[in-house]
């Protein structure tokens, strides 16, 4: 396992404790308090965007309730714990422990009125949660007002709450309607995630509803949303959320697979009618059990069920083969990769915040000179260099770095894929030259960062 950036910073800061006065030590310990915990990624978005469905897909278990109506009313933090249980945190500071229900879901009642609950912690024995804590949130600006909790949690309206509970990164679920208020929300989340676009990714959920499930159309829309939200999110990924949940939670049974194959084998006219429309899919007279058709549609959505039938027509057989084909189509693997990357970034962002807080102590307390030295040494650690890289990428992509277009392209390519540079030594010399000659402070910083990326690459740490 690689050492996390925040633990490197925590260790470095701890080493200077003996040299500091008790007041500074106390403040420093507060800064380091959360370093050992995995980074937190909050799933946010408008009501019914599919947030809880996405959380289930990520956790691989249908633990968060989902519903067509407004559903999630409480901020739920999913954390690793061998003994599974739910801790209910009241707004008055009290806590109580509940069991998951018999289906392994969050229980319907929490032992106190929802209005009195601040948030819940759901402990699950799920390996993925060792590396990241996932937070399900009520829809922002919901009719019931539950979204206020999200805003509080993410620190949009209350900075002090933000300091305690806010997420290190945000996964923002966008809808195909491309609502303009989503951009406004994101601007607020941007400040919740340290004001950096690398702390947030957008997911275009319910991609099955974009142009009848047309992949190219969803990718195109995701690309346009990413352009519009540049500066707020790193990227926007299309996702068939419901299908992703069905597959990662193992919901597709052999009975379902048999029903899919049976539908693929009915006469062409009947099949086309079944696939044309969600109500026909269930209601039409056809030689496949109606309850089985209804279940398919519940589990996969109409377009997902229709796609499954298409895969069966192409020869897929059995639940495992169908699930593989659906999984590849859903965009789940891309989301997984992005989430791993986001988690790493989140850790580095947290480390950067810790350093900034330590800086404030170092320059605010008269006795804290040793801390200053440690902070400076930590800033140049390779684990934290990725932070300079993302700043440089932002500067390059936004045009803030005034460099020749060809130099910008080369810088971006090097930062994104340092391994693509054939002659590292020659490239390091070139970037040194750019740094000296470009005459633009932002450009200089970018050139220095690219050069350092290559030096770390040469040492095998990048
Ligand atoms: N067609 C389709 N429906 C989806 C998809 N993802 C979720 N849904 C449905 O959308 C509805 C809302 O899903 P939830 O996951 O409860 O949404 P949410 O964002 O958590 O909603 P709130 O908690 O109420 O804010 C449910 O009926 C889901 O089955 C999807 O990818 N495609
Ligand atoms: Mg929900």
Residue-wise pLDDT tens digits, 159-201: 323 322 467 888 889 987 756 666 666 666 554 444 456 678 8
The pLDDT assigned to 227 comes to 85
Which range among 36-45, 135-144, 381-390 has the greatest average pLDDT? 36-45
The pLDDT assigned to 384 comes to 83
CA of 362 to the centre of ligand 1 (A): 47
Distance between CA atoms of residues 453 and 389, nearest Å: 8
Question: How large is the average pLDDT for residues 222-228?
Answer: 88
Cβ atoms of 444 and 407 within 8 Å: the answer is no
Based on the fold, state whether residues 373 and 389 are members of the same structural domain.
Answer: no
**Per-residue confidence band for 60, with pLDDT thresholds at 50, 70 and 90:** very high
Ligand index nearest the alpha carbon of residue 50: 1
Based on the fold, state whether residues 47 and 92 are members of the same structural domain.
Answer: yes
Based on the fold, state whether residues 162 and 264 are members of the same structural domain.
Answer: no
Based on the fold, state whether residues 131 and 279 are members of the same structural domain.
Answer: no
**Per-residue confidence band for 390, with pLDDT thresholds at 50, 70 and 90:** confident
Based on the fold, state whether residues 186 and 141 are members of the same structural domain.
Answer: yes
Best of 50, 149, 249, 303 for a ligand 1 pocket test (most atoms within 8 Å of beta carbon): 50
**pLDDT greater at residue 185 or residue 382:** 382
Pocket-forming residues, ligand 1, beta carbon under 6 Å? 45, 47-53, 66-68, 70-72, 138-139, 205-206, 208-209, 240-242, 301
The pLDDT assigned to 212 comes to 92
Based on the fold, state whether residues 219 and 257 are members of the same structural domain.
Answer: no
CA of 241 to the centre of ligand 1 (A): 8
Distance between CA atoms of residues 407 and 168, nearest Å: 32
Q: What is the pLDDT of residues 268-284, one digit of tens each?
A: 999 999 999 999 999 99
Ligand index nearest the alpha carbon of residue 210: 1
Distance between CA atoms of residues 7 and 5, nearest Å: 5
CA of 159 to the centre of ligand 1 (A): 30
The pLDDT assigned to 161 comes to 33
Based on the fold, state whether residues 106 and 223 are members of the same structural domain.
Answer: yes
The pLDDT assigned to 395 comes to 86
Based on the fold, state whether residues 230 and 145 are members of the same structural domain.
Answer: yes
Based on the fold, state whether residues 239 and 257 are members of the same structural domain.
Answer: no
Q: Could you identify the atom of ligand 1 that is nearest to the CA of residue 69?
A: 24
Residue located nearest, by CA, to atom 16 of ligand 1: 66
CA of 448 to the centre of ligand 1 (A): 46
Q: Is the pLDDT of residue 231 over 50?
A: yes
| Nearest CA-CA partner of 50 in 33, 31, 66, 38 | 66
What is the total count of domains within the chain? 4
Residue 334, token pair as written in the block = 């891309």
Q: Could you identify the atom of ligand 1 that is nearest to the CA of residue 72?
A: 23
The pLDDT assigned to 462 comes to 67
Q: What is the pLDDT of residues 123-156, one digit of tens each?
A: 999 999 999 999 998 877 555 565 666 666 554 4
Distance between CA atoms of residues 157 and 150, nearest Å: 10
The pLDDT assigned to 448 comes to 92
Based on the fold, state whether residues 111 and 178 are members of the same structural domain.
Answer: yes
The pLDDT assigned to 351 comes to 87
Based on the fold, state whether residues 87 and 21 are members of the same structural domain.
Answer: no
Q: Could you identify the atom of ligand 1 that is nearest to the CA of residue 142?
A: 25
Residue 92: which CATH number? 3.40.50.300
The whole domain housing 300 covers 251-326
**Percent of the chain having pLDDT more than 90?**
56
* Last residue within a domain, chosen from 306, 338, 370: 338
Poorest-confidence range of 16-30, 97-111, 378-392?
378-392
CA of 213 to the centre of ligand 1 (A): 16
CA of 50 to the centre of ligand 1 (A): 3
Based on the fold, state whether residues 24 and 96 are members of the same structural domain.
Answer: no
CA of 115 to the centre of ligand 2 (A): 16
Q: To the nearest whole number, what is the mean pLDDT of the chain?
A: 87
Residue located nearest, by CA, to atom 21 of ligand 1: 48
User: Is 49 in a helix, a strand, or coil?
Assistant: coil
Question: How large is the average pLDDT for residues 383-396?
Answer: 83
Residue with tokens 């800086």: 359
Residue located nearest, by CA, to atom 2 of ligand 1: 206
Q: Which residues contact 39 (CB under 8 A, 6 or more apart)?
A: 6, 132, 133, 168, 169, 343, 346, 347, 350
């Amino acid at each position: 396992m690689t050492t996390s950036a925040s633990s490197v910073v925590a260790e470095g800061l701890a080493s200077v404790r003996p040299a500091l006065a008790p007041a500074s030590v106390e403040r420093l310990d507060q800064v380091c308090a959360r370093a050992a915990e995995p980074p937190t990624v909050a799933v946010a978005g408008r009501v019914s965007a599919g947030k809880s469905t996405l959380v289930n897909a990520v956790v691989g278990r249908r633990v968060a309730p989902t519903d067509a109506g407004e559903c999630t009313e409480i901020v739920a933090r999913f954390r690793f714990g061998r003994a599974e249980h739910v801790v209910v945190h009241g707004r008055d500071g009290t806590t109580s422990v509940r069991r998951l229900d018999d289906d392994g879901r969050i229980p319907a009642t929490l032992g106190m009125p929802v209005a009195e609950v601040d948030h819940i912690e759901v402990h699950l024995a799920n390996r993925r949660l060792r590396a990241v804590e996932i937070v399900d949130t009520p829809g922002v600006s919901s009719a019931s007002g539950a979204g206020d909790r999200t805003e509080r949690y993410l620190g949009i309206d209350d900075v002090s709450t933000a300091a305690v509970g806010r997420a290190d990164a945000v996964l923002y679920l966008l809808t195909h309607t491309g609502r303009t208020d989503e951009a406004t929300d994101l601007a607020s989340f941007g400040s919740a995630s340290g004001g950096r676009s690398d702390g947030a990714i957008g997911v275009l959920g319910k991609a099955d509803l974009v142009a009848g499930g047309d992949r190219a159309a969803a990718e195109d829309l995701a690309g346009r949303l990413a352009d519009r939200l540049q500066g707020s999110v790193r990227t926007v990924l299309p996702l068939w959320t419901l299908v992703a949940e069905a597959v990662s939670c193992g919901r597709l049974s052999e009975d379902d697979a048999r029903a899919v194959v049976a539908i693929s084998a009915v006469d062409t006219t009947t099949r086309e009618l079944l696939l044309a429309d969600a109500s026909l899919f269930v209601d039409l007279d056809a030689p496949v059990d109606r309850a089985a058709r209804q279940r398919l549609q519940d589990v996969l959505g109409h377009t997902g069920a229709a796609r499954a039938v298409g895969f069966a027509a192409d020869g897929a057989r059995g639940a495992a083969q169908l699930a593989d084909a659906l999984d590849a189509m859903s965009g789940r693997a891309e989301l997984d990769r992005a989430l791993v990357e986001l988690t790493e970034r989140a850790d580095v962002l947290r480390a950067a915040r810790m350093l900034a807080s330590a800086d404030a102590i170092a320059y605010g307390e008269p006795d804290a000179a040793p801390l200053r030295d440690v902070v400076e040494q930590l800033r140049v650690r390779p684990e934290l260099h990725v932070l300079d890289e993302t700043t440089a990428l932002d500067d390059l992509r936004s045009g803030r770095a005034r460099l020749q277009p060809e130099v910008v392209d080369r810088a971006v390519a090097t930062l994104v894929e340092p391994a693509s540079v054939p002659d590292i030594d020659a490239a390091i010399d070139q970037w040194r030259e750019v740094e000296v000659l470009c005459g633009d402070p932002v450009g200089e910083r970018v050139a220095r960062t690219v050069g350092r990326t290559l030096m770390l690459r040469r040492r095998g740490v990048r």
